[in-house]
Amino acid sequence: MISVEEAKNLVLTGVFKQQKVLVNIQSALNFFLADDIIAGFSVPLFNQSAMDGYAFKFQDVNKSLNIVDEVAAGDVRVVKIKQGEAIRIFTGSKVPDSCDTVVMQELTEIINNQLIVKDDGLKSGGNIRKKGYQLKKGDVALKKGTLITPAAIGFMATLGIQEVNVYELPKVYIIATGSELMPLGSKLKEGQIFESNTHMLCSALEKLAIQPIIYTVKDNQQETEQLIKEALTKGDLLILSGGISVGDYDFVKESLVKNQVKEVFYKIKQKPGKPLFYGQKGEKNIFALPGNPAAALNCFYMYVYPAIQLMLGASEPFLPMIKLPLENKFVKKEGRSHFLKAKLWGNTVKLLEGQDSDALQSFALANALVYIPAEKITIEQHELVDVYLLPN
């Protein structure tokens, strides 16, 4: 059995990236940059006025100045002024090279087309966005691995970039195992339950814009083996649910071995989700999650979600983590790390009732998972803990 840290590290170092694909920036939202974005020109590209006002030579600040021209935004003429002159200018307009300062119009007075500057705080270069102050040509504008947000798309557009390389979405297969599982809408007989894990995992994947292909199978070795074979032929990532423990009807491990899946790890010193399996076949990743729903989702967020982020080229694949004081004291046994369903509570975090690995109600109410390391036994009230923020 390995520790949570070892398991995370094996995911971090083990996962292969998807194929690169060139996409229009408008289709790149929520992907990660596969290459650095280099500024092809300086930003801003020319000296720009930051205000509606007047441009002039700072040495003339105390004179009354002749307003000789006007430069609107988008005006590309080369305009020159002499000493004692000023021009009307607007936000985003090109500031002529012969001007070094802009005064905002609210701090001026115009008498007979003569400008009087009434800004005591104005300095030479004031209210001008200097060419290249944000970026110089050749600078790295955004690093590879950066999440492409609306802001990143806007930023790339300012750089004139129309297409970017990202990594393709993985084709994901889910196989849920268990003879007791019945589809929604069935009339349950005693001993049967509704199959819920595929609905849950499918929604978690939808958040990542992935639409998985879903199979369910009874506890049957041959059928499980056959479905795994199919999924590994067609998919990039296979997620199994259930059948990975040591019961007589747990056939997943054997079926993976028969499919030449190489084990990276099996079993983690954690609660919930001890019997998590991670393996690879070629460049394909296989996670076998425990069937207990809360354990399955916990393993998904802590290991499968980061694996997908890595396949997509993310530089920060794990859920965001912050440190907060714990609202309620918690005591556990030594030896296994705990992930606890929790809710952010003002500036603290509160553990929810119902931490069993089959109990989804607390997970449904949680927006965070509190991580308690294996060696810890008691966490006092208000002690700082690691808090992983769950996606909505």
Applying CB under 5 A, the residues found at the interface with Mg ion are 178, 242-243, 291
- Percent of the chain that is helix, strand, coil (3-state, to 5): 20, 30, 45
Residue 193 binds which one of ligand AMP, Mg ion, none, with CB within 5 to 8 A depending on kind? ligand AMP
Residue 241 binds which one of ligand AMP, Mg ion, none, with CB within 5 to 8 A depending on kind? ligand AMP
Instruction: Report in angstroms how near the CB of residue 210 gets to ligand AMP at its nearest.
Output: 18
Letters for 245-284 (x = contact with ligand AMP by CB under 6 A, - = none) are x-x-------------------------------------
Instruction: Report in angstroms how near the CB of residue 335 gets to Mg ion at its nearest.
Output: 25
Terminal C-alpha separation, the chain: 31
Asked whether the beta carbons of 60 and 122 are under 8 A apart, the reply is no
Residue 205 host element (H or E): helix 197-206
- The answer to the question of residue 306 lying near ligand AMP (CB under 6 A) is no
Give the DSSP letter string of 34-89. SSPEEPSS-BSSS-EESSSEEEE-GGGTTSEEEEEEEE-TT--------TTEEEEE
Locate 210 and state its tokens. 């992935």
Residue 181 binds which one of ligand AMP, Mg ion, none, with CB within 5 to 8 A depending on kind? ligand AMP
- The answer to the question of residue 294 lying near ligand AMP (CB under 6 A) is no
Given the complex with Mg ion, which of 220 and 226 has the nearer CB atom? 220
- The answer to the question of residue 359 lying near ligand AMP (CB under 6 A) is no
Instruction: Report in angstroms how near the CB of residue 177 gets to ligand AMP at its nearest.
Output: 6
Sign for the CA dihedral angle at 194, 195, 197, 201 comes to: negative
Given the complex with ligand AMP, which of 96 and 290 has the nearer CB atom? 290
Closest CA to 58 of 96, 115, 101: 101
Residue 194 host element (H or E): strand 193-194
Residue 279 binds which one of Mg ion, ligand AMP, none, with CB within 5 to 8 A depending on kind? none
Residue 236 binds which one of Mg ion, ligand AMP, none, with CB within 5 to 8 A depending on kind? none
Given the complex with ligand AMP, which of 145 and 291 has the nearer CB atom? 291
Given the complex with Mg ion, which of 275 and 291 has the nearer CB atom? 291
Distances (CA, A) of 23 to 28, 40, 157, 161, 267: 6, 19, 14, 11, 39
Residue type (1 letter), 129: R
Among 4, 11, 18, 195, binds ligand AMP (CB under 6 A): 195
Cβ-closest position to ligand AMP? 291
Residue 239: CB partners within 8 Å, gap ≥ 6?
172, 173, 174, 175, 201, 212, 286, 287, 288, 289, 300, 304
**3-state SS class at 313:** coil
Residues 175-194 that bind ligand AMP (CB under 6 A): 176, 178, 180-181, 193
Contacts with ligand AMP, residue ranges (CB under 6 A): 176, 178, 180-181, 193, 195-197, 241-243, 245, 247, 290-293
